[in-house]
Amino acid sequence: MTNFYTSVVPHGNSLLVRGYRNGEPYKTKANFSPTLFIKTADKRPSDWKTLEGDAVHPIKLDSIRHAREYIDRYKDVQGFEVHGQTQFVYQFISEFWPDDIKYDPDLIKVFSIDIETAT
């Protein structure tokens, strides 16, 4: 059976996740520890690079709240740049579903509402 998500939405310090596991729907509130990247003063080599080619090193934050606070704390510090994906939903999805996702279209309910109005 395939496992896939249908929705991941930020909610405070957590993420609300809906999807299917073994053909059964599920919903959960997930805690997530985002990763951000910073340059180090010692210029040591790294497997990670910025778009400009500068070496950076990952730092794992305890929670979404801590990641936001970290970004906010250093946003006005001259010469200190925080790098990485700050849309934490995308980080979560790529971490928990790193491969191609095989959706089962028979399990997904799709509908639309067309409201005709006159004024």
Lowest-confidence segment of 7-11, 36-40, 67-71 by average pLDDT: 36-40
User: Does the domain at residues 4-96 carry the CATH identifier 3.40.50.720?
Assistant: no
pTM, 2 dp: 0.82
How confident is the model at residue 1, as a pLDDT? 58
Domain extent listing, the chain: 4-96
How confident is the model at residue 44, as a pLDDT? 79
What is the pLDDT of the chain when averaged over all its residues?
A: 91
Whether 34 and 90 have beta carbons less than 8 Å apart is answered as no
Residue 35's DSSP bridge partners are 60
From residue 115, give the alpha-carbon distance in Å to each of 10, 69, 87, 109.
Answer: 29, 42, 33, 20
Residue 43 has pLDDT above 70, yes or no: yes
Mean pLDDT value of segment 68-80 = 92
